[in-house]
Amino acid sequence: MKKLLSILKYIIPTSVLVFFLAFLLLSTTQAATLAAVYVFLSRIKVNLAGTTGQEVEMIIAIDTTSAVTTGGTITIEFPDGDDGNWCRTAGALTVTAVTASAADLSGTAWQIDSGLPASGTLAAACVKGAGAGTVDKITISNVGALAAGTTYGVKLANGSVAGVLGTDDTAGEHILTISANYSGAVVDSKSFKVYLVTDDVVVVSATVSDIPSIVCTISSNSVPLGTLYPGGAYATGTHTISTSTTSSGYYWAVYGTGDGSTDAGLYNSTTLIPSGTTATLDLTSPAIYGFGMTFSDPDAADPATVTTNFVNSPIGTFGTIDRLYSGAKLVLYQNGTQGTTEQSTVTYGAKAQAAATSGTYYEYVYFICGGYY
């Protein structure tokens, strides 16, 4: 009998210890860490009150390590010191199962596979912490069965009449704890930090303005010089060119056709009154003949410039032009903005040589106008 009692003295404590360790092991396995979780906040700015223009929504994605039996809850707990900031107004929230979010990480456990299932109808509410030891807490109830290895998504927003979500008033890290629960016991949970910033909005601005443009006008496409006499006086004819631009300036250039081979100037199929090889022609001189042009300054107050050879002074001296586009000469330009339309008078001058034959002479002067942008 004593021997039996002696044996029981060792067996009973050992059995109690084994039972206690088994209970602890069981409790530990029933409170595992969530396999994957994220919270996708609509705003990360501090001190949002959840009012119009400051609404806060969140999508929660969870993947449980252990299967959760139907009829459970999911809770989100905020830091003890943040009381009344995350849950601005206690009460029912709007809760919606979602199957995806912008924060999904494709091909991983952080990709929502399915909307959070319901056992009946999903419901959610927030309560405020009230001092040390209590916290702002959101509880999602009537959660259906959760399978381990599946990531579920759920969205929380302000309630229609009661619960209002906000953010804490301090920038920096804030610890959240998300738990999956069944029959009041935590099955899976995980704590992590979210970060709030002073301002989460970047204002991007741009100015749209009209595309720079230029308007070029030639008042007439035909200028008669009247009658020239071999070895006689020079004759002139005029028209105007106008320029309007919203760019940084403009230019005019000209070239002629002449006899089609040697030089620009007036031509009648046999005789050329040439523009000549010199830069200018003083047709007031008895010994000089030829064809040339001058341009008036559109506005002495603006930065418009007539190229030196083509200024309209002294009277009777004209700038010479060349043939073809390759021989085009710059005659008028402006380097600067222009407030109003500017007009320049173009004067053509011609004097026939003594050997000029009778007939009708022509020169085709091509004008080129453009802008500086």
pLDDT tens digit string along 42-95? 999 999 999 999 999 999 999 999 898 888 999 999 999 999 999 999 999 999
Q: What is the pLDDT of residues 297-310, one digit of tens each?
A: 998 776 899 999 99
Which residues, other chains included, contact 18 with Cβ-Cβ below 8 Å and sequence gap of 6+? none
If pLDDT is split at 50, 70 and 90, which confidence band does 14 have?
very low
Q: Which of 20-29, 225-234, 283-292 has the lowest mean pLDDT?
A: 20-29
* CA-based end-to-end distance of the chain: 115
Q: What is the pLDDT of residues 25-35, one digit of tens each?
A: 333 334 589 99
Q: Are the folds of 33-196 and 214-372 the same?
A: yes
- Does the pLDDT value for residue 12 go beyond 90? no
What value does the mean pLDDT take over residues 333-350? 89
Identify which has the larger pLDDT, 349 or 245. Answer: 349
What value does the mean pLDDT take over residues 83-112? 97
Domain regions of the chain by residue span: 33-196, 214-372
- Does the pLDDT value for residue 101 go beyond 60? yes
* 3-class SS of residue 4: helix
- Residue 100 pairs in a beta bridge with none
Look at residue 337 in the predicted model and tell me its pLDDT: 76
CATH class of this structure's domain 214-372? mainly beta
**How big, in percent rounded to 5, are the helix, strand and coil portions of the chain?**
10, 40, 50
- Does the pLDDT value for residue 176 go beyond 60? yes
- Does the pLDDT value for residue 234 go beyond 50? yes
CATH architecture for residues 33-196: Sandwich (2.60)
If pLDDT is split at 50, 70 and 90, which confidence band does 2 have?
very low
Which residues, other chains included, contact 349 with Cβ-Cβ below 8 Å and sequence gap of 6+? 234, 235, 236, 281, 283, 291, 292, 293, 294, 316, 318
Tokens of 93: 């929230």
Question: Which run of H or E residues covers position 14?
Answer: helix 2-29
- Does the pLDDT value for residue 357 go beyond 70? yes
Q: What is the pLDDT of residues 150-161, one digit of tens each?
A: 999 999 999 998
Instruction: Tell me which residue has tokens 């399915």.
Output: 114
Identify which has the larger pLDDT, 339 or 321. Answer: 321
Distance in angstroms (rounded) separating the CA atoms of residues 254 and 161: 78
If pLDDT is split at 50, 70 and 90, which confidence band does 339 have?
low
Q: For the whole model, what pTM was predicted?
A: 0.65
- Does the pLDDT value for residue 11 go beyond 50? no
- Does the pLDDT value for residue 371 go beyond 60? yes
Look at residue 31 in the predicted model and tell me its pLDDT: 58
Look at residue 338 in the predicted model and tell me its pLDDT: 75
